Structures are given as C-alpha cells and as structure tokens.
Structure 1
C-alpha cells in the first residue's frame, strides 16, 4: 500500500489548544501565471480538482508552538469562497474547527538550515463544538 501525499489528520491533532481565524478568506494568487493588465494575479486552481483555491490565516493557540508555527495558512479547494463561522467569542479572532483536514509535509529551506514544514488543506470550517459538516 502506497502512502498518500496528503495525510488525513484530525483538527484536534493539529490544533490541540484551538485555532483562530485572523482576517478574511482570501483567494490564492497564481504566481506562476502571467499578471493581468492591472497587475493582479489570476486565482490559483487545484491541480487535482480544477477548483479555485482559497486560504485563511490561522493562529494556533498552542503555547508550545514556535514563532514560525503560531500563524499558518489553511487552504480550501472550493467553487465558491468558503464562509467562516460567526464570531460570537467577543475576541478579534474567530474560533474555528476545520473539517476534512489534510497535511502535506515539505522541506522549508528558506532559512539558515532546512526544516520540515506542513501545508494544510480543509474541506470546510465550523464553530468549535458544532456538528462537523463538509463543505458543499
């Protein structure tokens, strides 16, 4: 049995202390494509599904997370822009749980020495404690 490139992971395995959205859902720009006349980039599409890619910035609440691991991106391949859960927390960041979360390991060699890094994708996002529903 061959190991898949992307591994399915549970939200609580990746974010045991919780996760918070910082900012809005944004389209992922395709920096391999030619810029448009106005200088903007077209939206990147998923190589497997052909769906547009979206991303959110996530704050990891784990006190043991390193500085480089405290803020990360989670991407979505979806026909329409994913909608985050309503923020009822009273905080500036929205508590969130990811549905259908996968992880892809890669080598980050941009610093003084290479390190293992992770790329995350999700099918959807819900408020913590909500019934988990995949994105349509």
Structure 2
C-alpha cells in the first residue's frame, strides 16, 4: 500500500501541542498562490475542501523544547478569516479538525505541515466577549 503525496493524517491538538500553544500576535493572514506564468497572486484554495486557506503562527509551550525553535505555522481552511478568541497578546489557543501532512523538505529531512478547520480558546478560558 502506497500513500500519495499530501496525505493528511488526523491528529488531536493535545497530541501536537501537549503543553498548549499561544497565538503569535498579528500573525494571521491569507495564504496566496503565485502563478509564475502571469506573475499574479490569488487567494489559495484548499485542494481537499475548496475553502480559502489562512495561516497563523503559534508558539509551542512545551518546556521540553529547551532552546529549540518553538514557532510553527498552522494553516486553517475556512470560508472566512478566523479570529483570535480573546484578542489578547500571546493568548492560548486550540485547533479543531487538526491534520498533519508529512513530506521531505528541500534539505532531504522529514518535515510536516499542520492544518486545522478552526481555532478557539482552550476549554475553561473565557472568550472575554459579552453574550448577545
């Protein structure tokens, strides 16, 4: 049995970030595709769902990382730009519908990309928004 490139494996957020993760302020943005023939950029679309793709940077809060890099990117497929749950700087977040896609990077080493279908405050954390 062979896996095709781009195979997405479902994972739980707590398995990827066992100590949690914090949203890097002002890091949310729409992913763009670049057409080399025309030189134009256009909003990226998820090849599986057809939804627009957004990316956000997070800091892994795992103390076992020591001095290693803690920042990683999670791509979120959604029709509209996701919003930070509370708007606080470096707020903790959790991701829904997470998947991991392994690939071989240009340097020949194994790497992976993270995707999600949504972002929210961790359980027990108030959103800080008043109920309507």
Fold match (TM-score > 0.5) = yes
Tell me the equivalent position of 2:57: 57
Q: CA RMSD in A?
A: 2.4
SS at match of 1:31: strand
Structure 1 residues not aligned, in runs of 5+: 132-136
Matched, 1:73 2:76: no
Whether the aligned pair in 1 keeps the contact of 2:93 and 2:121 (CA below 8 Å) is yes
Number of corresponding residues: 120
Residues 15-46 of structure 1 show CA distances to partners (whole Å, capped at 9, x for unaligned) of 0111011133200011346434xxxx211111
| Secondary structure of the corresponding residue to residue 43 of structure 2 | coil
Q: Would you say the 8 A contact 2:77–2:118 is kept in 1?
A: no
| Counterpart residue number, 1:27 | 30
Is the contact made by 1:87 and 1:95 (CA closer than 8 Å) also made in structure 2?
A: no
For the pair 1:116 / 2:120, whether they are aligned, the reply is no
Shift of 1:51: 1.4
TM-score, scaled to structure 1: 0.76
Structure 1 stretches of 4+ with a deviation exceeding 2 A read 1-4, 31-36, 63-68
How much does 1:129 deviate? 1.1
Gaps of 5+ in 2: 126-132
Partner residue in 1 for 2:15: 13
